C-alpha cells in the first residue's frame, strides 16, 4: 500500500529558531516508527535551512516550502525561486487560499508556479477550494483545471492536490468526510490515478479519523494543529492505524 501524505503547514505560527528546532525534532522523532505515512513539514522560509537539517535525519519526514516565485532568478526582492527552494525542499505548497486572498494570487499565477516547480523537480501541492459551504464543487474543479494547463500528462503523477474548502480554514468548522470523498472523486477526473489528493481545513485530532476512513482521501494538509508536535504526531498515528492493512 502506498504511504499517505500528512503535510504540516506551519504558516507563520513558529516565530523563533529555537521553537522551529524543537518542533521539527519532536515531529521527526515522533513519526519515525509510524507506518503507512510520510510526514511533510513546511516551515516558514526563514527556518527552512534549520528544519531541513533536522528532517533529513528521519526516514519518515520530508521538507516542503510554503511558497515560491515562478521566476527562476532576477530582480525580485523578497521572492524565492524554485531553484533555491529545490536546494532544501522536496515539496512546495502552491495556491493556498491565504495566498490567493491576501497576496492576490490568480489561477494564472498558480499555473505558472506549478510549471516552474515541476521543471526543477519540486512536487507541487496544489490547493483548491470553494468559498461557500453550500456551493457546488465547480470552483475547486475549475481551479485545478487552470492549475494544470500545459502540464504534461506524464507529470500528473508527480503532483499533489489539496482540497481545502475556504470556509473551513481557521474556523474550526471542518468539512464532512463523506462530502470530501465525493469532491476528491470528482477532482480525480483531472489527474493521474497515483496522484495524492489530500483534505485540509480545520483538521484536528478529534476529526482526523473521519477522513482516514475514506480511502478516496490520500492524506491531510494540516494548518494550526501542525504547529503543535503532540497533535500532529497523534494525527499521523490515527491515520496510520486506520489505514493499516492488517
> What is the model's pLDDT at position 2?
80
Grid coordinates belonging to 66? 510554503
Q: What pLDDT is stored for residue 175 in this prediction?
A: 86
Annotated active-site residue in 38, 105, 112, 164: 164
Residue of 38, 73, 96, 112 with catalytic role: 96
pLDDT score recorded for residue 1: 62
Is residue 96 part of the annotated active site? The answer reads yes
Q: Is 4-243 in CATH node 3.20.20.70?
A: yes
The pLDDT of residue 134: 64
**What pLDDT score does 148 carry?**
98
By CB atoms closer than 10 A (0-12, 13-18, 19+), residue 192 is middle
Question: Could you state, in chain order, the average pLDDT of each consecutive group of 10 residues for the chain (246 residues)?
Answer: 91 94 97 96 95 92 97 96 96 96 95 98 95 75 97 95 83 84 94 94 94 96 96 98 78
Amino acid at each position: 500500500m502506498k504511504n499517505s501524505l500528512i503535510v504540516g503547514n506551519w504558516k507563520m505560527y513558529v516565530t523563533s529558531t529555537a521553537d522551529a528546532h524543537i518542533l521539527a525534532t519532536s515531529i521527526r522523532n515522533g513519526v519515525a516508527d509510524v507506518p503507512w505515512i510520510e510526514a511533510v513539514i513546511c516551515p516558514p522560509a526563514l527556518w527552512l535551512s534549520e528544519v531541513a537539517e533536522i528532517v533529513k535525519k528521519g526516514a519518515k519526514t520530508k521538507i516542503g516550502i510554503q511558497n515560491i516565485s515562478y521566476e527562476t532568478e532576477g530582480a525580485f526582492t523578497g521572492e524565492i525561486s524554485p531553484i533555491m527552494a529545490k536546494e532544501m525542499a522536496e515539496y512546495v505548497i502552491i495556491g493556498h487560499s491565504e495566498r490567493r486572498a491576501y497576496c492576490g494570487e490568480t489561477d494564472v499565477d498558480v499555473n505558472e508556479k506549478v510549471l516552474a516547480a515541476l521543471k526543477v523537480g519540486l512536487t507541487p501541492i496544489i490547493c483548491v477550494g470553494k468559498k461557500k459551504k453550500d456551493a457546488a464543487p465547480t470552483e475547486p474543479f475549475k481551479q485545478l483545471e487552470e492549475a494544470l494547463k500545459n502540464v504534461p500528462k506524464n507529470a500528473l503523477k508527480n503532483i499533489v492536490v489539496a482540497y481545502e474548502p475556504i470556509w473551513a480554514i481557521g474556523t474550526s468548522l471542518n468539512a464532512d468526510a463523506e462530502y470530501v470523498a465525493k469532491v476528491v472523486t470528482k477532482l480525480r477526473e483531472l489527474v493521474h490515478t497515483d496522484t495524492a489528493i489530500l483534505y485540509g481545513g480545520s483538521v484536528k485530532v478529534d476529526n482526523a479519523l473521519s477522513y482516514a476512513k475514506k480511502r478516496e482521501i490520500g492524506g491531510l494538509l494540516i494548518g494550526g494543529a501542525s504547529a503543535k508536535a503532540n497533535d500532529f504526531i497523534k494525527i499521523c498515528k490515527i491515520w496510520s492505524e486506520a489505514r493499516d492493512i492488517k
